[in-house]
Amino acid sequence: MPRNNASTRNPQRAKTVLHGPGGERGDAFRCVGCRLDVPLMAAGTAHRNHCPHCLSSLHVDRTPGDRRATCRGRMTALSVTVRDGGEWLIVHHCQRCGGLSVNRIAGDDNALALMRLAMRPLRMARQSAPAG
Ligand SMILES: [Zn+2]
Ligand SMILES: [Zn+2]
């Protein structure tokens, strides 16, 4: 009499696929500085335009979010500044046209990179001071 060998097999657990709807092009951009794929959604900002890792950006906005600038030069973070009310901003400097723009810092921006920017004037002052 053939017994149904109904041993309890471990059911293969379906792999959780991490590719969500956020993985497609259109809501991410490739950083011009460090080649990181940067998702446009970020805490604390409606439209992120700079890399959270190296803080580089592209000159695509005349006013933040409008994408009306035709320059498309690489913008590097020049400095940080604070608006009334304690909002931190990055000052970006375009390497192509020399334009400046300020952009709100996102919640996941690299704190170390921001610190380096904030400390830059101090470091330069120390370097230019006579050693003694
Ligand atoms: Zn980057
Ligand atoms: Zn530019």
Ligand showing the shortest atom-to-Cα distance for residue 100: 2
pLDDT at 22 over 60: no
Give the pLDDT score at 93.
96
How many domains does the chain contain in total? 1
Whether residue 38 is contained in a domain is answered as yes
In a domain, 94, yes or no: yes
Q: What is the mean pLDDT of residues 68-80?
A: 94
Distance (angstroms) between ligand 2 centre and the Cα of 82 equals: 23
Expressed in angstroms and rounded, the spacing between residue 37 Cα and the centre of ligand 1 is 8
Domain assignment of residue 11, yes or no: no
| Mean pLDDT of the chain, nearest integer | 81
Q: Which residue has the tokens 């370097």?
A: 127
Q: Which two tokens stand for residue 15?
A: 């792999």
| Residue range 33-66, pLDDT digits in tens | 999 998 887 776 667 889 999 999 999 888 777 8
Looking at the CA of 74, which ligand is closest?
A: 2
Helix (H, G, I), strand (E, B) or coil at 42: strand
In a domain, 110, yes or no: yes
User: So what's the pLDDT on residue 12?
Assistant: 61
In a domain, 12, yes or no: no
pLDDT attached to residue 23: 38
Q: Confirm whether 16 is domain-assigned.
A: no
The answer to whether position 56 is within a domain reads yes
Q: How much of the chain exceeds pLDDT 70, in percent? A: 74
Give me ligand 2 centre to Cα 95, in Å. Answer: 7
Lowest mean pLDDT among 21-30, 42-51, 71-80, 83-92: 21-30
Ligand 1 centroid–CA 61 distance in Å is 18
Confidence class of residue 132 from pLDDT cuts 50, 70 and 90? low
Cα of 72 from ligand 1 centre, angstroms: 16
Task: Name which residue leads in pLDDT, 130 or 37.
Answer: 37
C-alpha 97 – ligand 1 centre gap (Å): 20
The more confidently predicted of residues 64 and 67 is 67
Ligand 1 centre and the CA of 13: distance in Å? 36
CB-CB neighbours of 3 under 10 Å? 5
- Three-state SS for 50? strand
Partners of residue 103 on adjacent β-strands: 90
Domain that holds residue 58: 26-123
Domain membership of residue 132 (yes or no) is no
